[in-house]
Amino acid sequence: MAHFHDLEVTDIHKTIRDAVVLTLAPVNGAAEHFDFIQGQYLTFKRDFDGEELRRSYSICAGRDDGVLQVGIKRVEGGAFSTWANTELQVGDTLQAMPPMGGFFTDLNADAAKTYLGFAGGSGITPVLSLIKTTLTREPNSSFSLVYANKGVATIMFREELEDLKNYFMGRFNVIHILESDAQEIDLFTGLVTKEKCAKLFNTGWIDIAAVDTAFICGPEPMMLGIASALRTAGLDEAQIKFELFASAQTGQANRNATPQSEAVEAQKTTVSITLDGATQTVKMTRSSTILEAARDNAMDAPFACTAGVCSTCRCRVLEGEVEMATNHALEDYEVEKGYILSCQSRPLSDRVVIDYDQ
């Protein structure tokens, strides 16, 4: 399940000074694994000084572009993003898991919908894929984008967005909000806050009443402000889709939300884990996560961020009870169906049955 496949880097170009767009070609029989849905991401692995790092990057290509591309913005001091921006070469081979993630809605060629996207910085990557795919596959739908950046020089895909405006004339428009570069319209300068969104809705820049679905991808505080403004404007939870790249919470998630005594934590739980059609039953302590239990027992369970941000380690609880410390990736309906992030989930009951294959 956590199978990695080879992708050859066939092109690298800079979209801004600090971000590269990689074009990737599946090799060694991997093509069948890389059909993607707009808004999904790839998880790469690479060894840095003997330590394996896994990092996820959203696909920025549209489904009908005929290419597989990701955009990687360099994070100050960041291991993978710096390497990708400075050392990765055309002709190199990367290892990636098949596309994952649920940051999309189903498309229908007969639909005439109004979509609204909010992106901050590198958060544009999945939104760009959504815009291109949606406008191509739903010829009667329209898409508005509010794109937040520090200044003009840090706008990723700026020219491509301009081209899309011309190509999908009248069906796509973009509002650039720049933190530090002054613009002709005052409202377009500063941060994208709840208040800024409310003004965009109330002054007619965005016809919020017409919006069917809103997509948000960017820094967490910005996402929370936007979501709050959307709810106030009348959108319900099902109409708001999120993709978070990094949580404000650093590193591993906190321990159990409900502290347990050492004695309880030491109690062993029996957990049955199904992965790739095979089931193993193992003993684990209540202080370990389901993912740790799987990996401690040589099961190749999928994972990437280990911070509850991506959904790579998603699995389903079929029996028993677990507690999920952090969840920035699964939607309410998935949690109701028993899906959990295994990197964040610790057993509460004496027996738990887990399935990674559903």
Ligand X SMILES: Cc1cc2nc3c(=O)[nH]c(=O)nc-3n(C[C@H](O)[C@H](O)[C@H](O)COP(=O)(O)OP(=O)(O)OC[C@H]3O[C@@H](n4cnc5c(N)ncnc54)[C@H](O)[C@@H]3O)c2cc1C
For ligand X, the binding residues (CB under 6 A) are 41, 53, 55-58, 70-73, 75, 77-82, 122, 125, 245-246, 250, 305, 309-310
Rounded Cα distance, 100 and 128, in Å:
17
Residue 180 C-beta: closest distance to ligand X, Å: 17
Residue 20 C-beta: closest distance to ligand X, Å: 9
Nearer to ligand X, 36 or 245 (CB): 245
Nearer to ligand X, 82 or 173 (CB): 82
Task: Give Cα separations from 228 to 116, 236, 337 (angstroms).
Answer: 15, 10, 26
Rounded Cα distance, 321 and 352, in Å:
6
Q: 56 is written with which tokens?
A: 């996820």
With contact defined as beta carbons under 8 Å apart, do 247 and 220 qualify? yes
Residue 79 C-beta: closest distance to ligand X, Å: 4
Nearer to ligand X, 193 or 306 (CB): 306
Residue 146 C-beta: closest distance to ligand X, Å: 18
Helix (H, G, I), strand (E, B) or coil at 339: strand
Rounded Cα distance, 135 and 64, in Å:
11
Nearer to ligand X, 226 or 313 (CB): 313
Residue with nearest beta carbon to ligand X: 78
Residue 48 C-beta: closest distance to ligand X, Å: 8
Nearer to ligand X, 47 or 186 (CB): 47
Which residue from 191, 102, 200 is spatially nearest to 144, judged by alpha carbons? 200
Backbone angles phi, psi at 82, to 5 degrees: -70, -45
What is the full DSSP assignment across 309-321? Answer: SS-TTEEEEEES-
Nearer to ligand X, 53 or 111 (CB): 53
Crossing angle (nearest 10°) for helices 158-167 and 124-137: 10
Rounded Cα distance, 83 and 343, in Å:
26
Residue 77 C-beta: closest distance to ligand X, Å: 5
